[in-house]
Amino acid sequence: MTKSSPFKYFKTSPEIIRLAVMLYVRFPLSLRNVEDLLHERGIDVSHETIRFWWNRFGPMFASEIRRRRVQQLRA
């Protein structure tokens, strides 16, 4: 059984979604600051879209980071 992609119905690429969420999480930036940073790179998304992505994909990214940290500690 193949696992369905969580990004399946989004027009934006998964790399851009991951970049936006990680910018918001990693650095002390507001949603509007992340929107401005992406706009400077030619990516036009609203701060509300970034908030939606954070609510939807943030827990998934956090669990991936935790899983990688645990694997590094065990190795």
- Given pLDDT bands bounded at 50, 70 and 90, which one contains residue 11? very high
Give dist(CA 36, CA 26) in Å, integer: 16
Domain ranges of the chain: 14-73
Sign of the torsion formed by the C-alpha atoms of 60, 26, 30 and 43? negative
Sign of the torsion formed by the C-alpha atoms of 39, 40, 43 and 49? negative
Residue 1 pLDDT > 80, yes or no? no
**Mind listing the pLDDT tens digit for each residue in 17-71?**
999 999 999 999 999 999 999 999 999 999 999 999 999 999 999 999 999 999 9
